[in-house]
């Protein structure tokens, strides 16, 4: 995999960690880069200036020690606010700005941001143009296939994006109305790839190395963005890279590998958020790492009861001390 080129930046490969609110914090981005992701996009930063100096936004902009290029996603519905948000992120160390037109969450769409913008092509174009003009850095766009299954306008938005100077597109293979229900479709992604000359990145339900290879072949996409499949399974990046290069499956991590990565992940979460918040943020990650184990539900209930890092780590160590070896599907 030669690596996507976005503006002046050549990625190590064609795999990107998707921005996911509450998931892709500094700790998780660093982990996925270590596991082979060519780039990791931050959680979205709002264009609402009142929230720029909150602790949450400061944590979302923590990326000074991350490998280049550092990409930050912004979300909003006002062109000038989005332009200001882009400048704010660049001033705080971002090297690539990604515009969110893909989030289906009601609280985002209700203010006409995220994937709701696909319903208003003129506003979408105004936002893209304002952000591209505002910063001397590559700007990318993440979107969906359309507003609903009867209104798939990704090709139209893609052409607008290319005309305004967007440097790459990521398309999630569902409409805003679909949320995350049903199967992703890739015909629209293939149509966008055929319609524009800028790089197109496929996203949606890429949960195995074999499927990654099939989607690349089917769509002709230049790269892949991995989201939910990486939660509790950061190894997916190296597994996909290995398969694409050799057409041989990489064995899954064994118990000791999973334990070491999980413990290190937890310790980094405690360091980032502090012990009180770190324990709470860690709960969902522990659940994802262990979701395929037969005792997963009982263990999750135990994890959700403890309040200290000492107790939380103790339960994780205890879980793995019971294991008899072999591999674990993370």
Mean pLDDT, 10 residues at a time, the chain of 330 residues: 87 96 95 97 87 80 89 94 95 95 62 73 96 98 91 95 98 87 94 98 97 98 98 98 96 93 97 96 96 86 95 93 49
| Residue 66 DSSP label | S
Q: What pTM did the predictor assign? A: 0.92
| Residue 234 DSSP label | T
What is the pLDDT, as a whole number, of residue 143?
95
Q: How many Å apart are CA 287 and CA 25, to the nearest integer? A: 17
**Fold classification of 5-246 (topology level):** TIM Barrel (3.20.20)
What SS3 class is residue 65?
Answer: coil
* Alpha-carbon distances of 218 from 93, 158, 262, rounded to whole Å: 36, 19, 34
What is the pLDDT, as a whole number, of residue 1?
56
Q: How many Å apart are CA 268 and CA 65, to the nearest integer? A: 14
CATH 3.20.20.70 residue spans of the chain:
5-246
CATH architecture, domain 255-321: Orthogonal Bundle (1.10)
Number of DSSP helices (H) and strands (E) in the chain, helices first = 13, 11
CB 77 within 8 A of CB 119: no
What is the pLDDT, as a whole number, of residue 330?
38
Q: Which of 72, 166, 164 is nearest to 126 (CA)?
A: 164
- Point out the residues that are catalytic: 103
CATH 1.10.1200 residue spans of the chain:
255-321
Kindly tell me the sign of the dihedral angle through the C-alpha atoms of 299, 302, 308, 310: negative
Determine whether 319 is exposed, middle or buried from the number of CB atoms within 10 Å of its CB (0-12, 13-18, 19+): buried
Q: How many Å apart are CA 298 and CA 293, to the nearest integer? A: 10
Q: How many Å apart are CA 117 and CA 238, to the nearest integer? A: 34
What is the pLDDT, as a whole number, of residue 328?
40
What is the pLDDT, as a whole number, of residue 212?
98
Q: Which of 107, 179, 167 is nearest to 137 (CA)?
A: 167
């Amino acid at each position: 995999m030669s690596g996507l080129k976005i503006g002046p930046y050549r990625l190590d490969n064609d795999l990107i960690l998707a921005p996911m609110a509450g998931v892709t914090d500094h700790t998780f981005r660093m982990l996925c880069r270590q596991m082979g992701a060519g780039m990791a996009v931050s959680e979205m930063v709002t264009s609402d200036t009142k929230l720029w100096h909150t602790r949450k936004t400061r944590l979302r902009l923590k990326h000074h020690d991350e490998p280049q290029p550092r990409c930050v996603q912004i979300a909003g519905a006002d062109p000038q606010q989005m332009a200001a948000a882009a400048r704010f992120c660049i001033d705080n160390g971002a090297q690539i700005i990604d515009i969110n037109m893909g989030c289906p969450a009601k609280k985002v769409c209700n203010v006409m941001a995220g994937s709701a913008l696909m319903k208003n092509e003129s506003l979408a174009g105004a936002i893209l143009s304002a952000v591209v003009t505002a910063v001397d850095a590559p700007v990318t766009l993440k979107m969906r296939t359309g507003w609903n299954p009867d209104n798939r306008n990704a090709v139209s938005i893609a052409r607008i994006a290319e005309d305004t100077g967007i440097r790459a597109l990521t398309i999630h293979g569902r409409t805003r109305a679909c949320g995350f229900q049903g199967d992703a479709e890739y015909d629209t992604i293939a149509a966008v790839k055929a319609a524009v000359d800028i790089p197109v990145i496929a996203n949606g339900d890429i949960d195995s190395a074999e499927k990654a290879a099939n989607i690349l072949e089917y769509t002709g996409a230049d790269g892949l963005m991995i989201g939910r499949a990486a939660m509790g399974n950061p190894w997916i990046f190296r597994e996909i890279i290995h398969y694409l290069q050799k057409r041989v499956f990489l064995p899954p991590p064994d118990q000791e590998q999973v334990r070491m990565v999980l413990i290190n992940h937890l310790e980094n979460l405690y360091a980032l958020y502090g012990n009180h918040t770190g324990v709470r943020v860690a709960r969902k990650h522990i659940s994802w790492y262990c979701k395929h184990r037969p005792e997963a539900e009982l263990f999750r209930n135990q994890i959700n009861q403890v309040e200290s890092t000492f107790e939380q780590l103790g339960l994780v160590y205890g879980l793995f001390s019971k294991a008899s070896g072999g591999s674990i599907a993370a």
